[in-house]
Structure 1
Amino acid sequence: MAKQRSPPPSHLLLLLLIVLVTCPYPPHVRANCNFQGRSDDRGPNSKVKGMFVFGSSLVDNGNNNFLDNMAKANYSPYGIDFPLGPSGRFTNGRNVVDLLGEYLALPSLIPPFNDPSTKGLKVVHGVDFASGGSGILDDTGSIVGQVTSLSQQIRNFEESTLPELEAQVGCRSGELLPDNYVFLVGAGSNDYTYNYYLSANANLTLQSFTANLISSLSLQLQKLHGLGGRKFVLLAINPIGCSPSAKARVPTSIGCVQVLNRAVRLFNVELKSLVDDLNAKLPDSRFIVVNSYKIVRDIIKNPASKGFNDSTTPCCEVLSFAEGGNGVLCKTGGRACANRSSHVFFDGLHPTEAVNVQIATKAFLSARRTEVYPINVKRLAEA
């Protein structure tokens, strides 16, 4: 019998190219993304490995520090109770992102995308893309200067972070993202305060503007789904009409500024409907909404029952309208109240760490569908 000949070298090369194109990673790596040696000390039973964050100031971990705008919180008294001091977080201590990260047992704080050091191993457990003053719409926030819109945040994730993450962990997004990462999105309030209620939008009805917001957000969420995201936490808009800055703008208002609260309630109702629509349209995913409007509003209505005694005034000295400010941000180096855990608002808009603790705790553990719908973050993480 004649000896069987080996394939000519050209055939071997063709076969190798086919293997590389159709299976860029070895089978054992593709089936089990390599998180070993990635500062992950949470044990083998921890399903969620990280979190990607998109939105505005309530979830900004310091991205605006690197942008040319007026919406910054990288100075005292911001961060007065944060271990790292002023970091760009718009509160006295931890924000909702930090607290949910603790509940998810993530091994480190989520770093801001704009920090040049956020690369390599630092992206493995998530990245924060949020930008204070930004919105769902691309033109929101220009009044405060350079901000990163939600659509640009998603592009930053797709074009920069995702390829680096795939290289670090050793597998493609389709295998990497669905089980291992939570996508948190908190945006929309600035689209009303820094967009709709400007004179340029006076010809739009509130309903049509809100419908446009929800439609835009739906497309952006579907974009993240197309990139591999499957576990989504959406934050409702807080009752911004009850903030000290809103009430300072309308001093004749009795209680909260209802025109603002009506707008965000409309958005929040549509956001819940969007969650139902996306869960039906994308059955391989889970979308939930945290009703932070109700959580914060319940505190404001009866602060003593929740451990607070001041739900109307900011804890820090705020740069007023008369002083050239917008009634929102703390004065640089200004005073902060001593009893910060009893205040609802740290500055003219943003809640204290104590309020953020209540939002994050209910988001993670609450069984009330009026607070988190349709399931809580703990069940989402375990799914």
Structure 2
Amino acid sequence: MAKKAGKGFILVCLQLLLCFSQINWIRAKGEDGSDDEIKGMFVFGSSLVDNGNNNYLENSTAKADFLPYGIDFPKGPSGRFTNGKNVIDLLGEMLKLPCLIPPFSDPSTKGSKVVHGVNFASGASGILDDTGFLAGQVISLNQQIRNFETVTLPEVKNQLGVNRRENRKAAKKYMFIMGTGGNDYLFNYFARKGEYNVSLETFTANLTTSLSLQLKKLYRLGARKFVLMSIYPLGCSPMLNAMRKDGCIEVMNQAAILFNDGLKSIIDAAKSDMPTSNLVLVNSYNIVTDIIQNPSSKGFKDANNPCCEVVPLTQLAGNGVSCKKGGRICMDRSAHVFFDGLHPTEKVNVEIATKAFSSDLKTEVYPINVNQLAQL
């Protein structure tokens, strides 16, 4: 036991040494455009990309800091809403970042820890400030961007030793990942349909306009490389199984399609709205739909049911989404598309990240892939 513990300690030390050596390399290399490697990622959005920010919210029911979440993650439950790694972790590996992106809410996320990026995402949040009301306390997208602007950005500049003139060159070495929008439909528009007097089309137009303004704010702060994650096929999620009689709920899938079309329009408009930026749309909708419709071709066996035992809507604080703390779990996670009532398994995340990084199909990534974006 002592030998095993000693080896584990040595491994952790080596990982930390690698991370800090990479930080020193960045400082020595400078921000003069002499290399093309991505230094890090700044992540905004909801639970699909959250890696632990909600752990630090006292009055939130949208948490994943307990088993069976993280059962296959190296560090165990971390706040990621899946059994293992999420898309952000996997993209970070593909971009050869030396460290996992730390969550903003962790008090230790400061100093040299912010050099490779920070994750601001919050489970149950949305583009609109009032999305997430069902979960209690969440960090809205607007607040996430304020956190970046007022806290993290000055810290990054300080760590890299850049001045205002060099800021844009330094920012080009970072990717800004945006994964949000689904909760604005599931837990806002459709959950409060009686309160809305607007059509789905009007609501979606307002949503994409708001997101466009938020992206422009990041652009003004120096962001130049954006990755927009599309909404999944909402109507096919297990949380809606009781409502699904034959196939998926099409009105919810139509909402996702409308929103994703809006994301494409944002990218097309960026040529004039944000002239020195480059944006990539990862069409998770098409990637996940293909898996659901043809599960066996991708090595999946169950595309309808959650892997974990979820807390049903009929129970106190149940939302039909979250795994039951310490509840039952399927043995073969790689056979399931969904881990809980809404979020995919690590294996699906691998499919999405792989296609995001290297696919040449414009139905999966538009107009280029993440690897190509990294070289610009």
TM over 0.5: yes
Q: Relative to structure 1, is the Cα distance of residues 342 and 368 closer, same or farther in structure 2, using a 3 angstrom cutoff?
A: same
Secondary structure at the residue paired with 2:337?
coil
User: Does 2:96 correspond to 1:102?
Assistant: no
Aligned ranges 1:309-328 → 2 under 5 Å = 309-324=301-316, 325-328=318-321
Distance (whole Å) between structure 2 residues aligned to residue 36 and residue 74 of structure 1: 30
Secondary structure at the residue paired with 1:82?
coil
CA-CA distance at 1:193 after TM superposition? 1.1
Distance (whole Å) between structure 2 residues aligned to residue 279 and residue 36 of structure 1: 37
Distance (whole Å) between structure 2 residues aligned to residue 63 and residue 98 of structure 1: 15
Give 1 or 2 for the bigger CA radius of gyration: 1
Unaligned runs of 5+ in 1: 1-34
8 Å contact from structure 1 (residues 95, 356) kept in 2: yes
- Name the Cα RMSD after superposition: 1.6
8 Å contact from structure 1 (residues 177, 229) kept in 2: no
Secondary structure at the residue paired with 1:269?
helix
User: Does 2:59 correspond to 1:64?
Assistant: no
Distance (whole Å) between structure 1 residues aligned to residue 181 and residue 48 of structure 2: 11
Distance (whole Å) between structure 2 residues aligned to residue 128 and residue 103 of structure 1: 17
Distance (whole Å) between structure 1 residues aligned to residue 347 and residue 293 of structure 2: 16
Picking from 202, 208, 211, the partner of 1:208 is 202
Secondary structure at the residue paired with 2:344?
coil
- The corresponding residue for 1:357 is 350
| Greater Cα offset, 165-174 or 202-211 | 165-174
Picking from 331, 342, 360, the partner of 1:338 is 331
Picking from 62, 70, 77, the partner of 1:79 is 70
Query: What amino acid is the match of 2:156?
Result: L
Secondary structure at the residue paired with 1:308?
coil
Picking from 212, 215, 232, the partner of 1:238 is 232
Distance (whole Å) between structure 2 residues aligned to residue 52 and residue 88 of structure 1: 17
User: Does 2:107 correspond to 1:116?
Assistant: yes
Distance (whole Å) between structure 1 residues aligned to residue 24 and residue 72 of structure 2: 26
Distance (whole Å) between structure 2 residues aligned to residue 214 and residue 137 of structure 1: 10
Picking from 336, 340, 347, the partner of 1:347 is 340
CA deviations on 1:337-374 (whole Å, 9 max, x unpaired) are 11101110000000000000000000000000110000
- The corresponding residue for 1:38 is 23
CA deviations on 1:275-301 (whole Å, 9 max, x unpaired) are 100133222110110000000000000
8 Å contact from structure 1 (residues 279, 287) kept in 2: no
- The corresponding residue for 1:196 is 189
User: Does 2:369 correspond to 1:376?
Assistant: yes
- The corresponding residue for 1:6 is none
- The corresponding residue for 1:168 is 159
Aligned ranges 1:156-305 → 2 under 5 Å = 156-172=147-163, 174-197=167-190, 198-248=192-242, 250-251=243-244, 253-305=245-297
- The corresponding residue for 1:138 is 129
User: Does 2:145 correspond to 1:154?
Assistant: yes
Secondary structure at the residue paired with 2:304?
coil
Secondary structure at the residue paired with 1:362?
helix
Distance (whole Å) between structure 1 residues aligned to residue 372 and residue 274 of structure 2: 18
CA-CA distance at 1:66 after TM superposition? 0.6
8 Å contact from structure 1 (residues 363, 372) kept in 2: yes
Q: Relative to structure 1, is the Cα distance of residues 299 and 167 closer, same or farther in structure 2, using a 3 angstrom cutoff?
A: same
Distance (whole Å) between structure 1 residues aligned to residue 21 and residue 217 of structure 2: 29
Query: What amino acid is the match of 2:367?
Result: P
8 Å contact from structure 2 (residues 45, 121) kept in 1: yes
Distance (whole Å) between structure 2 residues aligned to residue 309 and residue 125 of structure 1: 37
CA-CA distance at 1:177 after TM superposition? 3.8
Distance (whole Å) between structure 2 residues aligned to residue 279 and residue 287 of structure 1: 9
- The corresponding residue for 2:6 is none
Unaligned runs of 5+ in 2: 1-19, 30-34
8 Å contact from structure 2 (residues 43, 178) kept in 1: yes
CA-CA distance at 1:200 after TM superposition? 5.0
| Greater Cα offset, 334-343 or 125-134 | 334-343
Picking from 66, 91, 100, the partner of 2:82 is 91
CA-CA distance at 1:125 after TM superposition? 0.1
Distance (whole Å) between structure 2 residues aligned to residue 277 and residue 72 of structure 1: 36
Q: Relative to structure 1, is the Cα distance of residues 120 and 225 closer, same or farther in structure 2, using a 3 angstrom cutoff?
A: same
CA deviations on 1:97-148 (whole Å, 9 max, x unpaired) are 0000001000000000000010001000000000000000111111110101
Secondary structure at the residue paired with 1:326?
coil
Distance (whole Å) between structure 2 residues aligned to residue 182 and residue 381 of structure 1: 8
Distance (whole Å) between structure 2 residues aligned to residue 181 and residue 240 of structure 1: 30
For normalisation by structure 2, the TM-score amounts to: 0.89
Percent identity, aligned pairs only?
A: 61
